[in-house]
Amino acid sequence: MLTQPTTDKILLAIADDLNSVVLPSVGDEQAKVLLGQIDQLLRRLSRRSATEIAWMVEEIKTINEALGREHAEIKSLVLADVSAQYSEASGALGNAIDEAFANDDAAMIAKLKNLLSSRIEKEQEILGQLDLVGRG
């Protein structure tokens, strides 16, 4: 029984059940590889779901600060709503990158490069390493 039935815990429980109950009874190698891939996917989704809204809210604020935009209050923590605001901020970031290069603004280019590097690091931290199950 799950005492904390959050999405991340449910996904981990499914992965654990697949490994402890289903995998031992599977003889087909292709099916074992597929179960390994499903396990990885469930674990990555678990990590992401545990922090997804928080990192989007944080990144929206970081983008707005970097671009000198006023940071609008996040009124809803519903994933679709935060995702829409994240998409809008990402679009503004893309426009700022285009503008910085068009104006040959080295300081802004450097600032935005750092922001993008942080964004990539956070994404890699959240998603984790992808192992090539059944490959090689």
Report in angstroms the alpha-carbon separations of 90 from 7, 14, 19, 38. Answer: 26, 33, 38, 30
Domain boundaries, the chain: 7-127
Model confidence, pTM: 0.77
CB atoms near residue 79 (< 10 Å): 13
Give the pLDDT confidence of 2-50 residue by residue, as tens digits: 677 899 999 999 999 999 999 999 999 999 999 998 998 999 899 889 8
